[in-house]
Amino acid sequence: MQLLMFYLIGFFAVLSAVSMIVVRKPLNSALFLILNMICLAGLFALLNAHLIAVLQIIVYAGAIMVLVLFVIMVLNLREKDGDITVRKVAAQFVGIIVVSVVMVMVGASVDPSAISALGSASPEFGTVVGVGKTLFTDYILPFEIVSVLLLAAIIGAVILSKSKV
Amino acid sequence: MDIVIPSISFSAIMPELVLLAVGILILLLDVFSEKHSGKLAYIAVGGVATALFFAMTPITDPSTTFAGLYSADRFTQFFKVIFLIGTGLTLLISEKYAKENNINHGEYYSLILFATVGMMFMAGGADLITIFMGVELMSICLYILAGYTRARMASNEASMKYFLLGAFASGFLLYGMGLIYGITGQTKLVKIAGAISANSDNMMVLVIGAGLMIVGFAFKLAAVPFHQWTPDVYQGAPIPVTAFMSSGPKAAALAAILRVLVEAMNFIQVDWIMWVSVLAIMTMTVGNIAALVQSDIKRMLAFSSISHAGYALVGVSAATSDGVSAVMFYMLVYTFMNIAAFGILALVAKANEQNTSIDAFKGLFRTNPVLAAVMTIMLFSLAGIPPMGGFMAKFYIFMSAVNAGHLGLVLVAVINSAIGAYYYIKVIVAIYFQENPEKPEPVKAGPSLVFALLVSVIAVFVLGLMPDCYLTIAGKALLPF
C-alpha cells in the first residue's frame, strides 16, 4: 500500500515538475509548482516526517506561492517566444545528459542492503516533539545561524526595494 | 520527556558573537541617532579588532562543541584571523568610498560583519549542516552587498547575476550533501569518515556526492569552469565589496573544501586529488590568460583573483599537512595584497567609480609618489616577486605540491605565474613611464585608508621575510594528518 502510494505521488511530482518547466504561461508554471509542492508534502508524510509535510503545505504551497502568484499578476508578463540559439539548445542538451547520467549512476549503484544496515529511525522521528527536541538541543547552532540569516535577508529586502536610499 | 542539553562552549564562538553584537548595534545606532553616522565604520573596525583578540586566544586542545557541530581547533582559528583581517581592511578602505558614493549606512557595515560570521561558520563547521548554513549566510549578505550602489546599473546586474548563479550553486552543494547523508546516515564530518571506513559499498554514490559538493564550493571559490559569474559581478560590485568578495569568501570556500575533503573524504582521496588538480590547472590558465587582455584594472584584478584561487587549489591537491598550511599561509598573504590593491583602485578611480581603466593609473608616480610605491609593492607581491609575501606564499604552495609528487601541476603553475607577472607589470609601467594627458590633481587618501595600506605593506614584507613563525602556527592547525 505504502509503495503504491509512493509511486502514485512520485509520478505526479515528476509530472508536475516537468510540466512546470514546459508550459509557456508563468501563471500555469506557478500552479504546477503548487501541485509539485503538495506532492512533495505527500512524500514527506510517507517518510514519517509529518511536521515537514505540514510545513511544506502551509509555508511553501500556501504562503510563498501566493506571493509568487501576486508577483506574476502584478508584473503582467506577456507571452514571448525566446530566441532559440545554438547555445541554448547545446546547454539544454548538456544539462539533460548530465542529469540523466548522475541519476542513472546513483540509481544503479545504490545498494539497498547497505542503507537498511544503517538501522531504522526512532519512533519519535519526524513528529513535532522529535523535531522540536532535536532542533533546540543538538542542532541549536544551525538554528541560531538561520535567525541571523533571516535578519540579513530582511535587511537586504529593505535595501534593495527602497525607492531612494 | 527528558531533554539533554549538549555541552555548549560560548568561548569557541566568541568572535562570531562579538561581530553579531556589533552588527546589530550599528543597525540600531543608525536608526536612533543621526550624529553617529560618520563613525559607523570605526565602530565596525573596533568590533573586528575585539573579535580578532578573541580569535587569537590560543587553543591548547582541539575539541568540538555544540553537540559536535562546531570544531574549535587551530584550523578554525587561523581562518578566523584571515577573515577578520580581510573584513577589517575592507571596512577601512570602505570608509571614504562609502561617504563619497552615498552608501554610508549602518546596513552596509552590518552586512559585511554578518557575512564574516557566515565565513567563520564555514571554516569551523564540523557538520555539513553548519557548513551549509555558513555558506548561505555569507552568500545572502554578498548578494545584497554586490548590488549596494543601486544608482549604477552594473551593480544591479552584478547582484542579480550573483544571486541566480549562487542559488544554483547552493543547489549542487545541497544535492551532494544529500547523497552523502543518504548513504552514510551521518552529517558530522568525522562520523561520515567512520561510516565510509566501516562500510565501503555504494562508493559510486559517495564519489558523485563529493563531486557535487566540490562543484558547489568551486562556484563560491570562482574556480574555472564555474567562474562565469565572476568578472561581471566583481566589476559591477562597489570596489570595497569586490575587495571583500575576492578575499574572505574565497578563503572560506577553501577552508570548507579542505575540511570536507580531508576530514570526511579521505577514503576517496585519489578521486578528489585528480578533480582538484584539473580544477587548479584550468583556473590558473584561464584566469591568467583572460587577465592579460583586460584594460580595466577592476576586471583585471577580478581575473587575477581567479588565477590566485587556482594557485591555492594546487596546495589543496597536494593533500598533505604541508599543503594545507601552505594554502592557509597563501590566503593570509593574499588577503593583505589583494585588498590593498583594490583600496588604491577605489581611491584612484574617484567618486562613483568614474575611471577604473588603466588610464587612471597613468602618471600616478608624478602626482602621488607614495601611493604609486605602495601600489607597486602590492602588484609585485601579487606577481610573486621576492622579497614580498606573495613570493613566499607561492613558493610554499609549489614546494608542498612537488613533495606530494605533482610535478606536472607545479610546472603549469610556474608557467602561469610567469604569464601573470606580465599584466601586473603593465600597470607598473603605466604608473611610472606613461604620462596622463589630462594632468589630474593628486588624489587624497583619508586616514583610514592610509592605516590600511600601512598595515598591508608591513604585513607583506614581514610575511615575505619571516614566514616561518606563521607557517608553524598554520602547520599545527589541522586535522587528522
* Weakest mean pLDDT among A40-49, A110-119, B337-346, B430-439: A110-119
Return the percent helix, strand and coil in chain B, to nearest 5: 80, 0, 20
Summarised one tens digit per residue, pLDDT across range A140-155 is: 999 999 999 999 999 9
Predicted local distance difference test score (pLDDT) of residue B21: 96
Print the domain residue range for B187: 10-475
Contacts of B371 (CB under 8 A, 6+ apart): B344, B347, B348, B364, B443, B445
The tally of CA atoms less than 13 A away on the side-chain side of residue A156 is 25
Binary contact (B69, A141; C-beta < 8 A): yes
Predicted local distance difference test score (pLDDT) of residue A25: 83
Q: Residue B4: inside a domain, yes or no?
A: no
Q: Return d(Cα B74, Cα B55) in angstroms, integer.
A: 10
Answer whether B240's CB lies under 8 Å from B97's CB: yes
- Calculate mean pLDDT across residues B45-58: 91
Predicted local distance difference test score (pLDDT) of residue B31: 85
Q: Return d(Cα B135, Cα B192) in angstroms, integer.
A: 20
CA dihedral sign, ordered A65, A68, A72, A73 = positive
Binary contact (A145, B134; C-beta < 8 A): yes
Q: Residue B97: inside a domain, yes or no?
A: yes
Predicted local distance difference test score (pLDDT) of residue B481: 44
Q: Residue B61: inside a domain, yes or no?
A: yes
- Calculate mean pLDDT across residues B155-182: 93
Predicted local distance difference test score (pLDDT) of residue B474: 67
| pLDDT score of A165 more than 60 | no
- Calculate mean pLDDT across residues B185-202: 85
| pLDDT score of A131 more than 90 | no
E strands present in B14-95: 63-65, 70-72
- Calculate mean pLDDT across residues B401-411: 92
Predicted local distance difference test score (pLDDT) of residue B197: 84
For A113-141, b/e burial (b = at least 16 CB within 10 A) is ebbeeeeeeeeeebeeebbebeeebbbbb
Binary contact (A140, B204; C-beta < 8 A): no
Kindly calculate the radius of gyration of chain B based on its CA atoms and give it in whole angstroms: 21
Q: Residue B5: inside a domain, yes or no?
A: no
- Of A127, A123, A120, nearest to A44 (Cα)? A127
| pLDDT score of B271 more than 90 | no
- B183-B137-B265 Cα angle (round to 5): 30
B64: three-class secondary structure by DSSP: strand
| pLDDT score of B206 more than 90 | no
> In this complex, which of B6, B20, B183 lies closest to A137 when CB atoms are compared?
B6
Residues of A with Cβ-Cβ distance to B150 under 8 angstroms: 160, 165
Summarised one tens digit per residue, pLDDT across range B444-460 is: 888 899 999 999 999 99
- Compute CA distances A49 → A125, B185, B213, whole Å: 7, 16, 25
- Calculate mean pLDDT across residues B339-350: 91
- Position B1 confidence tier, pLDDT thresholds 50, 70, 90: low
Binary contact (A152, B121; C-beta < 8 A): no
Binary contact (B8, A140; C-beta < 8 A): yes
Predicted local distance difference test score (pLDDT) of residue A162: 80
- B23-B28-B29 Cα angle (round to 5): 95
Residue of B nearest to A153 (CA): B140
Backbone angles phi, psi at B103, to 5 degrees: -125, 25
Summarised one tens digit per residue, pLDDT across range A47-62 is: 888 889 999 999 988 8
B296: three-class secondary structure by DSSP: strand
- Calculate mean pLDDT across residues A122-149: 88
Q: Looking at this predicted complex, what is its ipTM?
A: 0.90
Summarised one tens digit per residue, pLDDT across range A59-99 is: 988 899 899 888 888 887 666 666 677 888 888 889 889 88
- Of B205, B217, B203, nearest to B251 (Cα)? B217
Q: Residue B258: inside a domain, yes or no?
A: yes
> In this complex, which of B111, B121, B137 lies closest to A155 when CB atoms are compared?
B111
Residues of B with Cβ-Cβ distance to A101 under 8 angstroms: none
Say which residue, B202 or B95, is predicted with more confidence: B95
Binary contact (B183, A160; C-beta < 8 A): no
Predicted local distance difference test score (pLDDT) of residue A82: 65
- Calculate mean pLDDT across residues B383-398: 91
Q: Return d(Cα B338, Cα B344) in angstroms, integer.
A: 10
Binary contact (B144, A160; C-beta < 8 A): yes
3-state secondary structure B98-126: HHHCCCCCHHHHHHHHHHHHHHHHHHHEC
Residue of A nearest to B68 (CA): A138
> In this complex, which of A111, A136, A142 lies closest to B133 when CB atoms are compared?
A142
Test mutation, B204, B207, B228, chain A, max A CBs within 10 A: B204
Q: Residue B259: inside a domain, yes or no?
A: yes
B5: three-class secondary structure by DSSP: coil
Q: Return d(Cα B226, Cα B278) in angstroms, integer.
A: 13
Summarised one tens digit per residue, pLDDT across range B128-160 is: 999 999 999 999 999 999 999 888 888 999 999
Q: How many domains in chain B?
A: 1
Binary contact (A114, B199; C-beta < 8 A): yes
Q: Residue B3: inside a domain, yes or no?
A: no
Closest chain A C-alpha to B391 CA, distance in angstroms: 38
Q: Residue B2: inside a domain, yes or no?
A: no
Binary contact (A117, B199; C-beta < 8 A): yes
| pLDDT score of B480 more than 60 | no
Residue B71: CB atoms within 10 Å: 25
Closest chain B C-alpha to A58 CA, distance in angstroms: 23
Q: What region, left, alpha or beta, does residue B235 occupy, with left being phi > 0 and alpha being psi -120 to 50 degrees? A: alpha
- Calculate mean pLDDT across residues B18-41: 88
Residues of A with Cβ-Cβ distance to B130 under 8 angstroms: 141-142, 145
- Compute CA distances A85 → A81, A88, B324, B422, whole Å: 12, 5, 44, 37
Grid cell digits, residue A66: 501566493
Binary contact (A165, B185; C-beta < 8 A): no
- Calculate mean pLDDT across residues B347-375: 86
Residue of B nearest to A140 (CA): B66
Answer whether B18's CB lies under 8 Å from B69's CB: no
- Position A102 confidence tier, pLDDT thresholds 50, 70, 90: confident
- Position A164 confidence tier, pLDDT thresholds 50, 70, 90: low
- Position B409 confidence tier, pLDDT thresholds 50, 70, 90: very high
Predicted local distance difference test score (pLDDT) of residue A130: 85
